[in-house]
Amino acid sequence: MSEVQDIVIYAAPGVELTLPLDRDRETVWASQAQIEELFGVDQSGVSRHIRNILRDDEVDQESNMQKVHIAGADRPVTLYSLDVILAVGYRANSSRAITFRRWASATLKQHLIDGVALNERRLQQLGSIVRILSRSSEELVSGVADVLAGYLPGLQLLRDYDAGHLDAVAGSHPGWALTIEEARSVIAEVRVKFLEDTLFGKERGGALEGVIAAIYQGFAGQELYPTVQLKAANLLYLVVKDHPLSDGNKRSAAALFVTFLSRNGILMDADNQPRISNNALAAITLLVAMSDPKEKELMVALVVRMLSEPAP
């Protein structure tokens, strides 16, 4: 193992772990026993989660596992990297795992708001967390990664967000209109990937129709949201925050969002590069979900700016 220094990486009621920091690889390492303690999950449960994570290629096995010799042990002990720890945390279903997921979500929000990501290495670390978040079947954006790839929000964008102001930008005139039938069709396509979620996509009264009507509302012959960017941003926000579905609001919001962009011809830029990646979409969807209702204008402006920034 590379030179390490002990640090306390996580503390919660009933658990406090000190794990080795690998400065060369910029990660921490934990044994299976430590992961069991961290999440309050038994040996068979953690073994199953790790086996599935490696089987599904969520992490690279070679770079995220290593065997070390520990004094008094009969055989080498396998250690797992932070990426594996995070992935297990999002699969486990225990009270400690739920506490950890909340902590990780709050940490992600803090990265975005406080500007911790304003250097390249922190951006890479944030990307790793978001990639794991985006694979989660719990409230996030599984199933739409095939139409997205790209970039995290630009540093200036994060700086503007931190300052609490985002200037308006020009937008594109929509050429395609979303109907309730189209919306239901998109949600039905996503539902196929989550058949075990029996409430996924079930409408709550006429709330979904209300969301669609809201993005096309106007006054005195003028649309309130005249551009594709504004309509798409409000569509994402309203589906996430208004909960028009019994389950799957965030996943459905993401799918409707990218469909709206694609059908209006702005999902890709002039160089045929995606304007927003799966990672960035997962991050902004989570941020919208955690935002206060009074922050709606800021959230919408952030999405519009993300759609208007050129991909690097």
Q: Is the pLDDT of residue 245 over 90?
A: yes
Mean pLDDT of the chain: 74
Of 79, 105, 131, the residue that ends a domain is: 105
Tell me, yes or no, whether 171 and 297 share the same domain.
Answer: yes
Tell me, yes or no, whether 181 and 93 share the same domain.
Answer: no
Q: Is the pLDDT of residue 115 over 70?
A: no
Lowest mean pLDDT among 3-12, 88-97, 225-234: 3-12
What is the pLDDT at residue 196? 83
Residue with structure tokens 């304007």?
Answer: 275
Q: Which two tokens stand for residue 95?
A: 């009270």
Q: Is the pLDDT of residue 112 over 70?
A: no
For the chain, where are the alpha helices, taking DSSP H only? 32-39, 43-55, 61-64, 82-91, 95-114, 120-135, 155-163, 180-191, 207-215, 228-242, 249-263, 278-290, 296-308
Q: Quick check: is 42 in a domain?
A: yes
Would you mind telling me the total number of residues written for the chain in this entry?
312
d(CA 99, CA 105): 10
Tell me, yes or no, whether 161 and 87 share the same domain.
Answer: no
Q: Which residues pair with 21 in a beta bridge?
A: 5, 28
Tell me, yes or no, whether 87 and 164 share the same domain.
Answer: no
Q: Quick check: is 195 in a domain?
A: yes
Using DSSP's 3-state secondary structure scheme, residue 249 falls into: helix
Q: Quick check: is 96 in a domain?
A: yes
Q: With 0-12 CB in 10 A as exposed, 13-18 as middle and 19+ as buried, what is 73?
A: exposed
Q: Is the pLDDT of residue 153 over 50?
A: no
Tell me, yes or no, whether 206 and 70 share the same domain.
Answer: no
Helix or strand run (H / E) with residue 5:
strand 4-12
**What would the mean pLDDT of 13-25 be, rounded to a whole number?**
70
CB count, 10 Å around CB of 312? 8
Q: Quick check: is 224 in a domain?
A: yes
Pairing of strands 4-12, 218-219: unpaired
Lowest mean pLDDT among 17-21, 90-94, 249-253: 17-21
Pairing of strands 222-223, 4-12: unpaired
Tell me, yes or no, whether 185 and 293 share the same domain.
Answer: yes
Tell me, yes or no, whether 100 and 159 share the same domain.
Answer: no
**What would the mean pLDDT of 23-44 be, rounded to a whole number?**
82
Tell me, yes or no, whether 81 and 179 share the same domain.
Answer: no
Tell me, yes or no, whether 84 and 162 share the same domain.
Answer: no
11 against 305, higher pLDDT: 305
Residue with structure tokens 């797992």?
Answer: 80
What is the pLDDT at residue 40? 85
Q: Quick check: is 166 in a domain?
A: yes
Q: Quick check: is 94 in a domain?
A: yes
What is the pLDDT at residue 204? 93
280 and 151 Cβ atoms separated by less than 8 Å: yes
Of 81, 105, 129, the residue that ends a domain is: 105
| Residue 284, domain CATH | 1.20.120.1870
Provide the number of structural domains found in the chain: 2
Q: Quick check: is 140 in a domain?
A: no
d(CA 35, CA 179): 47
Q: Which two tokens stand for residue 202?
A: 């079930």
Tell me, yes or no, whether 195 and 262 share the same domain.
Answer: yes
Q: Is the pLDDT of residue 127 over 80?
A: no
Q: Is the pLDDT of residue 165 over 90?
A: no
Tell me, yes or no, whether 170 and 94 share the same domain.
Answer: no
Tell me, yes or no, whether 161 and 78 share the same domain.
Answer: no
List the domain range (segments joined by +) for residue 271.
155-308
What is the pLDDT at residue 161? 44
Residue with structure tokens 């006429």?
Answer: 206
Q: Quick check: is 84 in a domain?
A: yes
